[in-house]
């Protein structure tokens, strides 16, 4: 019990609360932020992944329960993702031990770095897909989408393997893959389906890592105690904060963190970070202009919901906000 009141445990509590706020603000998976944060706090990569997966299993179960009642997830789609992901996720911890050998911690550190770069790229793609949906004026259809069995199973398998090894991917890569495969799936059903399939995925990955590495209660309990209220607060703040700015910031953070874990020097990381901070907004503004939108404006909506009016003012700003694709 004394382990819960150490300086290290309080640091984990504070960091998990902050990461929870970001998760609540953006709807992204916490593994891409929480696992690197734990490593930077001095926790070994194997322990960081194992404890983060167990905490994520608890948090995602709560979120999935809410969406089961209100989000109307696509059960067939979720079932296919689960069938593809669970076996690979369960094997993740054993694969890390086998592939890493005597250098397990170093192997996992590099694997997390690669996964973070993939997550950053997928998050940028997700922003663009949302932007394209805004400008195309798409409406969320009322009919069920046609489920593509083989591609969905493959998405589950790749996502399960990535989450099983690094804990990164359940809320970023899989979500983007679903957007690409099912562009007409409504935002609410998309999030509900992703959360529902993520529960057994994360539980399977957590079991594999716990069997291999065990858990550290001094890390796990602060993770849960800090992450849950942080996510709730972030969700309440989402309507007050510019989503566009936050999401661009997350892409930069994930990219720089991934490069640092791959062994890039601090000087090189600093130069790349400065370049992304200076040139990133200009590049995104150019992309927005190619879609007929103002260069610097917060585009939060992605779907025009039937029965609700949506118009553009003289500057192109949206008059009414609709359901966002987070």
State the pLDDT at residue 128.
Answer: 83
State the pLDDT at residue 195.
Answer: 77
State the pLDDT at residue 125.
Answer: 86
- Per-residue pLDDT band for 82 (boundaries 50, 70, 90) equals very high
- Per-residue pLDDT band for 207 (boundaries 50, 70, 90) equals very high
Residue 203: pLDDT over 50: yes
> Cβ–Cβ contacts within 10 Å for residue 144, how many?
11
Q: Is 318 helix (H, G, I), strand (E, B) or coil?
A: strand
State the pLDDT at residue 305.
Answer: 43
Contact 101, 150 (CB under 8 A): no
How far does CA 90 lie from the centroid of its chain? 20
237-277 pLDDT per residue, tens:
766 776 667 778 888 988 999 999 998 998 999 999 999 98
Residue 326: pLDDT over 90: no
Separation CA 52–CA 62 (nearest Å): 16
State the pLDDT at residue 314.
Answer: 35
Contact 272, 282 (CB under 8 A): no
Tokens 């897909």 belong to which residue? Answer: 129
Residue 159: pLDDT over 60: yes
Separation CA 144–CA 290 (nearest Å): 32
Closest to 95 in 3D by CA, of 166, 159, 5: 166
Task: Quote the pTM value.
Answer: 0.76
State the pLDDT at residue 191.
Answer: 74
Closest to 159 in 3D by CA, of 192, 200, 188: 200
286-311 pLDDT per residue, tens:
888 887 777 766 544 444 444 444 43
């Amino acid at each position: 019990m004394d382990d819960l009141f150490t300086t290290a445990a309080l640091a984990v509590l504070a960091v998990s609360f902050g990461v929870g706020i970001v998760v609540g603000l953006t709807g992204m998976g916490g593994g891409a932020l929480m696992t690197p944060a734990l490593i930077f706090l001095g926790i070994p990569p194997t322990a960081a992944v194992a404890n983060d997966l167990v905490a994520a299993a608890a948090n995602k179960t709560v979120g999935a329960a809410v969406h089961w009642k209100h989000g109307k997830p696509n059960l067939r789609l979720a079932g296919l993702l689960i069938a593809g992901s669970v076996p690979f996720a369960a094997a993740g911890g054993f694969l890390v031990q086998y592939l890493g050998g005597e250098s397990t911690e170093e192997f996992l550190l590099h694997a997390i770095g690669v996964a973070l770069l993939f997550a950053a790229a997928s998050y940028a793609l997700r922003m663009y897909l949302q932007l394209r949906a805004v400008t195309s004026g798409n409406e969320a259809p009322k009919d069920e989408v046609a489920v593509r069995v083989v591609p969905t199973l493959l998405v589950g398998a790749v996502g399960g393997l990535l989450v099983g090894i690094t804990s990164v991917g359940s809320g970023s890569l899989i979500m983007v893959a679903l957007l690409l495969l099912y562009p007409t799936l409504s935002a609410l059903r998309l999030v509900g389906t992703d959360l529902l399939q993520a529960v057994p995925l994360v539980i399977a990955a957590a079991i594999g890592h716990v069997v291999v590495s065990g858990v550290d209660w001094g890390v796990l309990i602060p993770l849960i105690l800090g992450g849950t209220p942080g996510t709730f607060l972030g969700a309440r703040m989402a309507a007050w904060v510019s989503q566009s700015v936050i999401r661009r910031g997350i892409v930069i953070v994930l990219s720089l963190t991934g490069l640092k874990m791959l062994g890039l020097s601090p000087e090189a990381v600093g130069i790349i970070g400065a370049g992304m901070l200076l040139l990133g907004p200009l590049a995104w503004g150019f992309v927005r202009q190619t879609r007929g939108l103002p260069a610097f404006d917060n585009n939060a909506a992605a779907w025009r919901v039937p029965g609700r009016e949506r118009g553009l003012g003289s500057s192109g700003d949206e008059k009414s906000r609709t359901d966002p694709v987070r």
